[in-house]
Amino acid sequence: MNEQTPSENVTVNPVIPSRKAQSWGAVISIVVIVLMVVGGAFYAWGKRVAETNNIPPSAVEAQ
């Protein structure tokens, strides 16, 4: 008595994207990574500029 459940009889064919879809996926991934790096660079640069332009209030009033 070899009973099988219906789920064992179903074969699943993995969907393989076409070459064009794969290349667009790679391009989109690279663009997202570059944008994240550029955004992080601007964040770090802005933080550094804010630290170097930190003028004490007494120095501004003395001028």
Q: What total of structural domains would you count in the chain?
A: 1
pLDDT of residue 5: 60
pLDDT of residue 12: 76
Q: What is the DSSP letter of 53?
A: T
pLDDT of residue 40: 96
**Structural domain boundaries, residue 38:** 23-52
With H, G, I as helix, E, B as strand and everything else as coil, classify residue 4.
coil
Other beta carbons within 10 Å of 49: 10
Q: What is the pTM of this model?
A: 0.54
Which residue in this structure is represented by tokens 């790096």?
A: 37
pLDDT tens, residue by residue, 16-42: 878 777 788 889 999 999 999 999 999
